[in-house]
Amino acid sequence: MRHGHAPSVSDRTAENGDALAMHGTGEEFIRGLYDEHGSRLTRYAARLLGGDWHQAEDVLQEAVTRAWKHANAIDGDAGEARPWLFTTVRRLVVDHHRARRVRPAENRLPHVPDAADALLSASASVRVPASVWR
């Protein structure tokens, strides 16, 4: 790994070589995690997120990415991977809730009528004779 730079995909693959050798390629590793745990983890995340399935899918993607980065922490045994993944999903959801508390949703400002609104309102009330449209 180069000093001062984020590790590249090949650097991370080399660092995780032992674990990935156990699971096959990185792609096979990720696909295996999705196939084995994806639906359960997505349902779990959606439940923690109040039914937000889109956010739950984002959380699942981040959890699997972290699993790939830390493949040495996960054995090939599904019994080992599942608790690690569920803990990671729970922590990601907690981080999501904390971030929302710090950065509350933007409040929309009330609509203030301007000259364009007045013009549109006035033109909507004007009746145009049918002879103009011919």
The CATH number covering residue 79 comes to: 1.10.1740.10
Q: How far is CA 13 from CA 17, 28, 68, in A?
A: 6, 13, 9
* Structural domain contains residue 123: no
Residue 124: inside a domain, yes or no? no
User: Residue 120 has what pLDDT?
Assistant: 63
Judge whether 84 lies within some domain.
yes
Q: What does the pLDDT look like over 116-133, one tens digit per residue? A: 666 666 655 656 566 655
**Which pTM does this prediction carry?**
0.59
User: What is the per-residue pLDDT for 9?
Assistant: 46
55-58's contacts with Cβ under 8 Å and 24+ in sequence apart are: 55/96
**In-domain check, residue 129:** no
Give the total number of structural domains in the chain.
Answer: 1
Residue 15 lies inside a defined structural domain of this protein: yes
Residues of the chain with pLDDT under 50: 1-10, 12-17, 19-20, 22
Give the model's pLDDT for residue 111: 62
**DSSP code of residue 113:** -
Residue 127 lies in a domain: no
pLDDT recorded at residue 101: 82
The pLDDT score that the predictor gives to residue 126 is: 59
- Identify which of 129, 44, 55, 125 has the alpha carbon closest to the alpha carbon of residue 90: 44
The CA–CA distances, whole Å, from 102 to 83, 99, 106 equal 29, 5, 12
- Residue 71 belongs to domain spanning: 9-104
Q: Distance between CA 33 and CA 42 in Å, rounded? A: 12
Please check whether residue 116 lies inside any domain of the structure: no
